[in-house]
Chains A and B, each alone.
Chain A
Amino acid sequence: DAGVTQSPTHLIKTRGQQVTLRCSPKSGHDTVSWYQQALGQGPQFIFQYYEEEERQRGNFPDRFSGHQFPNYSSELNVNALLLGDSALYLCASSIFSGGTSTDTQYFGPGTRLTVL
């Protein structure tokens, strides 16, 4: 049973560029969440997608956008990259349970983004 997969593993960009990160959820999962983890910190929630719509969003600027496809895979796009966007970007998948607190999220290995 394949777990959550993410691509690419590592990425180096320069300030002002745009980047797209990709995520495939665990088999049978329909919900994808994205998190940003700065070095030495806990992950911070960016947004969550279900039924191809953004269901919930954290405190991130509009430069961060996403998409979910009919096969439940997802993309995270970041425009006008800043040095502070350098982080590990984690994707997590889950099975939507009607918005209860019992949803269990399973994480992928992450994409390490470095902005120079």
Chain B
Amino acid sequence: GNSVTQMEGPVTLSEEAFLTINCTYTATGYPSLFWYVQYPGEGLQLLLKATKADDKGSNKGFEATYRKETTSFHLEKGSVQVSDSAVYFCALNNQGGKLIFGQGTELSVKP
């Protein structure tokens, strides 16, 4: 079946540090991959997406590359800010309908 696994949190970084949040997936066929971010008390915001192998999604300084050979879609940012503190969810869409989410990774950035 389809599934998504993310690195466990919480991840605590200092401002301007480099961020990596690992995400791997299991799926048949050719899913699309997404990163969503959830700020405290809010819904999910689409951060970036990639729809085919070797695509790189990017937004607001965040990047992730769709690696079919390693079934991964790791999220990276070169220099995090306090305002990036949130929970990040990796997700896949393989059936045109439902999104399948990882368990989420909480990021805390300290000044």
Contacts and interface: CB of A to CB of B under 8 A. Distances in A.
Interface string A81-116: 000000010101000011111111111111000000
B45 A56 contact: no
Contacts of B89: 42-43
Interface in B15-70: 29-32, 34, 36, 42-46, 49, 51
B97 A33 contact: yes
A109 B31 CA distance: 26
Contacts, number: 77
Given A102-B51, A108-B43, A109-B43, A97 B103 contact: no
B17 to A, nearest CB: 24
Contact of B93 (A44, A98, A103): A103
Contacts of B31: 101
Q: Which of B30, B44, B104 has the most CB of A within 10 A?
A: B44
Contacts of B93: 101-103, 105
A110 B4 CA distance: 22
A44 to B, nearest CB: 8
A105 B103 contact: no
A24 to B, nearest CB: 13
Interface of A: 4, 6, 33, 35, 40-45, 48, 55-56, 58, 88, 90, 92, 97-110
Q: What 6 pairs between A and B have smallest CB-CB spacing?
A: A42-B101, A99-B96, A45-B98, A56-B97, A107-B44, A109-B43
